[in-house]
Structure 1
């Protein structure tokens, strides 16, 4: 157990690496247009810059426990930092879109390992009485990272060029590499572990994991762009994901030395419930971060930097709340009582946002709802994590942490995919519902068109030009009103989803007095 300055150097190193990994999941979103222009890529092609990173992440995270035992956790972490740093540099140097996609995939392999292993290092850095504080510090990176990504990306793109969103990782990666070599040590259990011979490694499980989870992530990332099951390509990968996931589950439940031990889910009811709650947390975290920027930029005309700055205070509140929630858990406040409050707060945030979305909404209208979101996420992340791992010890804790991390990432992917599809399809239905209200035979519509025409003519347009401009303006009003209704319904739907999950809290097993969360093996 480290103490003094060494302890806090380790904390700074791993929290920063976690932040980097999660910032890179969203930082590229605001730079895609610039990438399309510079690399002569289509929108379909540039979408793979986002998808490749997510696919690599979700494949690596559940295997991290095995890889850390096989090669030593410090060695594996150092390799991941170096890989992430070199891949970041290579991304910035890319000269065509498929080069960039390939390097983003490699970056995602290093990044997924950083997030999963950082949690374990933080836990080993703190004494048992401060386990909740270690988890809280990790949670700061998990909550803040995806939120500040668009802010940082927007600033860099506005003031520099898109390669710099990757180059900023390089100095941090170099410092983290040196700190890893000088200060991070393997715990005794990892030091004494005997690596498996190559012939004993669960190669079938690894293949099925890559096939199943990788295909599923690809379907979620690309489904909306490909019109879902109208595309033969999406159908093929859906079939591959079903075969891979079913085969992976069967293999890991029957293999003597599985790559991911799924049997740990049968040993703890809280872990099984916590895995599902982690999915919900990922869904809410990523879906809300996805919806809000799109609404602000497309409908209200905010810049990427403006939107990011709106999200920042709530994210910082989550970060500051994490140690407070950790102290509450440390002092015996049951997670079973904290989780309903967190779910309720997130529902109130979603409902509040659905009411705040109007054509005249400004930055001040969203400040307090987003602060409430930050408060709610803090009350969900740490209780879910500690509850999931309570009563689990040794090697099982590492498997459990990897599984919950993977499921949280998949929850985020499902959230973005489902919400994106819902917005697209609901917008169409809302537009159809509004059209009868603006019929050109309607007196109020005629008056509106005449007023707009007169306004354009007053600015120097001819009668024909003014009428055409009036119809375009009317179409713009219709599109904006459609979007206002759709985004309001979307936030309300996210809130109802959280509210519907409240009964799950009833089946959580309350920790016995003195029962501890053993995260010393959590990779």
Structure 2
């Protein structure tokens, strides 16, 4: 019976974490349909993505404090219920403001599921088995963002957009009931909250700073960066909020987030690697679907399916890596191998043909999944090497927040990079198509004759149609080259970070080791 309970806890916690991670990307492929249904612009509809991301990144570093204050099990159950209720209300929303508000609330509930699920999962395993638990959880962290576009594409193709939210409701209800039944409370859980000091100012500064920073990153490209008043105001608030937060947390005795752990050199460099991993994970998931649909003509479902199939290698690799680490294998060789593999993925993808089919992406994304599998779990363990047990929670919370911020920075940089390089490539391509030149004349003549032969239109209309077709071809080629440039940019980030591995510390395996496993257990 005890063994059955452990497996139920595994299914419950991993499912809850995957459900949260799926919702970070599932909306991306549904924005057009949602905007049309609610009668708003795609630009306005993108607030549905932004609001969730802002709530997520604010709540993640506070999960340790909130779990300690309310009790881990109580906080977990409440978060799951908030997430489920908000998912239902998102699916029932009939206006833009309404769905943005519920999407923010969904992000508040979802942000807690990730870290708290880790702690509960680790608690169900013995110390020797915890690296395997890390592998199971890391597998969900890789597959979650990958499942989003696939599930979203399938739903949009065959059903309607509210189902992308409503699908969470039965899963959330079942997970809540299983968690209530099978997850035990920790000793004296939540009993000492009356005497706990609550750092209200620190929480307020963090929410303002991180929330405004996330807004700037998410909306900067859309609003033309600092030419927008809202971006300038939010950038100033982000700077003031984060500066005040850092100063306060370093001065008071009981901060909401213990920043003093960053005195540990190993944690500083681990967070740099984690930031780069978040950058690569979320940026590649963001850039590829746009490339596939805008340039290659894939449907939303085909786009997600091409990403999903090779990612299933994580199901095999993550538990294996966890098993090896439980036997004392160092994290550092995995990190190095993972970074090299991810760099290879971006290098190969940056050279893919614009006429590539869905399965041409299988091998590159297989390498990507292998690389991510190699770095996810080792970095979770590496984050607490050299820390005292009392500092594990702060180290893990910072690591989780930095990964999310890496993704936010990556998407913002990718948006700006694509827009800039699209303009450069379009200018270059148009410069090679000077009216009257032999190449220009040859192309226009060929397209005009093709239109006249297949469509019953006069020569003047055919000539105008030929210009429109040529313009679309130039656009397509310019976007294609810009997206490939973005994959090259990701490769540069990974390559520049790799030499920093010499600053990571190793830790000999001892009887009380278990680095990240114990970290997660104590953290929440």
User: What TM-score does the superposition give when structure 2 sets the normalisation length?
Assistant: 0.96
8 Å CA contact 2:131, 2:514 repeated in 1: no
Give secondary structure in 2 for the equivalent of 1:438.
coil
Change beyond 3 A, Cα 1:44–1:484: closer
Q: Corresponding residue for 1:421?
A: 416
The runs of 5 or more residues in structure 1 that have no matched partner are none
8 Å CA contact 1:359, 1:480 repeated in 2: no
8 Å CA contact 1:69, 1:193 repeated in 2: no
The runs of 5 or more residues in structure 2 that have no matched partner are none
456-465 or 422-431: which moved more?
Answer: 456-465
Change beyond 3 A, Cα 1:393–1:178: farther
Q: How does 1:282-293 map to 2 (within 5 A)?
A: 282-293=278-289
Separation in structure 2 between the aligned mates of residue 86 and residue 275 of structure 1, nearest angstrom: 33
Separation in structure 2 between the aligned mates of residue 338 and residue 110 of structure 1, nearest angstrom: 32
In the alignment, structure 1 residue 270 sits paired with structure 2 residue 271: no
Q: How does 1:93-172 map to 2 (within 5 A)?
A: 93-172=92-171
Deviations 1:419-464 (A, max 9, x none): 1110011100111112221111211221121111111111222110
Tell me the CA shift for residue 196 of structure 1.
4.6
Q: Number of residues paired by the alignment?
A: 518
In the alignment, structure 1 residue 399 sits paired with structure 2 residue 398: no
Tell me the CA shift for residue 161 of structure 1.
1.1
Separation in structure 2 between the aligned mates of residue 375 and residue 337 of structure 1, nearest angstrom: 14
Tell me the CA shift for residue 36 of structure 1.
1.1
Q: Corresponding residue for 2:364?
A: 369
1:309 is aligned, of 293, 305, 308, to 305
Give secondary structure in 1 for the equivalent of 2:312.
helix
Deviations 1:85-113 (A, max 9, x none): 11111111112110000000000000000
2:292 is aligned, of 288, 292, 296, to 296
Deviations 1:102-130 (A, max 9, x none): 00000000000011101111111111111
Q: Corresponding residue for 1:232?
A: 229
Deviations 1:394-439 (A, max 9, x none): 4421221111111111110101110111001110011111222111
Separation in structure 2 between the aligned mates of residue 493 and residue 310 of structure 1, nearest angstrom: 22
8 Å CA contact 2:202, 2:255 repeated in 1: yes
1:191 is aligned, of 181, 189, 192, to 189
Q: Corresponding residue for 2:252?
A: 255
Tell me the CA shift for residue 486 of structure 1.
1.4
Separation in structure 1 between the aligned mates of residue 255 and residue 47 of structure 2, nearest angstrom: 31
Separation in structure 2 between the aligned mates of residue 484 and residue 75 of structure 1, nearest angstrom: 49
8 Å CA contact 2:70, 2:190 repeated in 1: no
8 Å CA contact 2:73, 2:185 repeated in 1: yes
Tell me the CA shift for residue 3 of structure 1.
4.0
Tell me the CA shift for residue 141 of structure 1.
1.5
**Over aligned residue pairs, what C-alpha RMSD do you find?**
1.4
Q: How does 1:29-108 map to 2 (within 5 A)?
A: 29-108=28-107
User: What TM-score does the superposition give when structure 1 sets the normalisation length?
Assistant: 0.97
8 Å CA contact 1:143, 1:319 repeated in 2: no
Q: Corresponding residue for 1:522?
A: 523
Separation in structure 2 between the aligned mates of residue 196 and residue 234 of structure 1, nearest angstrom: 40
Change beyond 3 A, Cα 1:244–1:161: same
Tell me the CA shift for residue 197 of structure 1.
4.1
Change beyond 3 A, Cα 1:126–1:340: same
In the alignment, structure 1 residue 434 sits paired with structure 2 residue 429: yes
Q: Corresponding residue for 2:216?
A: 219
Separation in structure 2 between the aligned mates of residue 450 and residue 140 of structure 1, nearest angstrom: 54
8 Å CA contact 1:136, 1:325 repeated in 2: yes
Separation in structure 1 between the aligned mates of residue 388 and residue 164 of structure 2, nearest angstrom: 40
Change beyond 3 A, Cα 1:480–1:249: same
Separation in structure 2 between the aligned mates of residue 135 and residue 446 of structure 1, nearest angstrom: 62
Change beyond 3 A, Cα 1:272–1:94: same
Give secondary structure in 2 for the equivalent of 1:186.
coil
Separation in structure 2 between the aligned mates of residue 75 and residue 340 of structure 1, nearest angstrom: 39
8 Å CA contact 2:266, 2:386 repeated in 1: no
1:243 is aligned, of 231, 240, 258, to 240
Q: Where has structure 1 moved over 3 Å in runs of 4 or more?
A: 391-395
137-146 or 299-308: which moved more?
Answer: 137-146
Change beyond 3 A, Cα 1:38–1:112: same
Separation in structure 2 between the aligned mates of residue 21 and residue 412 of structure 1, nearest angstrom: 15
Q: Corresponding residue for 1:388?
A: 383
476-485 or 12-21: which moved more?
Answer: 476-485
Give secondary structure in 1 for the equivalent of 2:128.
helix
Separation in structure 2 between the aligned mates of residue 485 and residue 324 of structure 1, nearest angstrom: 38
8 Å CA contact 1:326, 1:382 repeated in 2: yes
